[in-house]
Every structure is written in structure tokens, then in C-alpha cells.
Amino acid sequence: MREADFQKQVIDLAHLFGWRVAHFRPAQTSRGWRTAVSADGAGFPDLVLARGGFVIFAELKADKGKTSDDQEAWLLALGGESFQSERTLVVVWRPRDWSTIENAVRNFGGARS
């Protein structure tokens, strides 16, 4: 599965359960693909989901994909991969994790219909 297709599925699921979703999309430039970020933005997680004061930071990868050094730095700054507090969840999700993704999107911060 392409990462873009996987991302769309996660976004659609999040919307189904009432999450607001932010994704900062890269654009092709003369120097290759770039995402307009400043300061320490390189490697920021692919998706930020917010609902009722709860936040999920999700880095999305293909099943065999690896996180970059910049992505690892952001995950660590946010609490570490698989970090969970009362109101924040930090994850790396792959297509093979679909049941875990469904559970998190449905239930983190209280179920919504």
C-alpha cells in the first residue's frame, strides 16, 4: 500500500470519529519535494489529530518504512514513539497496525459516534 493511500484511510477514519486533522503537504520544487516549514519543522509527524482536548501525533510509514533522524527527534521531543499520557498519544502507524489505529481513533479520549 502506498503511504499516500494509507494516509487517506487514516484521515477518513479520523473524520468518521470526529477528529480534526492537520497534515502539511509537500510540494515539488526545482530542488525536489519540500514541505514549507521553518525553525525545527523538518520531520514533524505526518498527522495531528485533535478532538475534545485530546491530541494524537501520528507518523505514518509503509510496512517496511523507517523513520528519519529528524522524525526520530520529533518523536522523542513529543515523549517518544508509543508515548501516551492522559491527553496525548504519540505513535508510528503502519498499514499492518490497522486494528490498533481503529482502536485509538475510536477510543482515545472517549468514544464518539
Task: Give a yes or no: residue 73 inside a domain.
Answer: yes
Classify residue 89: in a domain, yes or no. yes
Asked if the structure places residue 96 within a domain, the reply is: yes
Whether 14 is in a domain gets the answer yes
Tell me the sheet residues that pair with 32: 29
| Reported pTM | 0.87
| Residue whose entry in the numeric block shows the C-alpha cell 497534515 | 23
pLDDT greater than 90 at residue 55: yes
Q: Which pLDDT tens digit goes with each residue over 64-92? A: 999 999 999 999 999 999 999 999 999 99
- Give a yes or no: residue 28 inside a domain: no
Q: How far apart are CA 25 and CA 33, in angstroms?
A: 10
Residue-wise pLDDT tens digits, 3-20: 889 999 999 999 999 999
Residue 26 lies in a domain: no
Is 27 part of any domain? no
Q: What is the tally of structural domains in the chain?
A: 1
C-alpha cell at 63: 510496512
End-to-end CA distance of the chain: 28
Q: Is residue 30 part of a domain?
A: no
How much is the average pLDDT of 89-103?
A: 97
Q: Which domain holds residue 103?
A: 3-20+43-107
Tens digit of pLDDT for each residue in 17-38? 999 999 987 666 677 655 666 6
What is the pLDDT at residue 30? 74
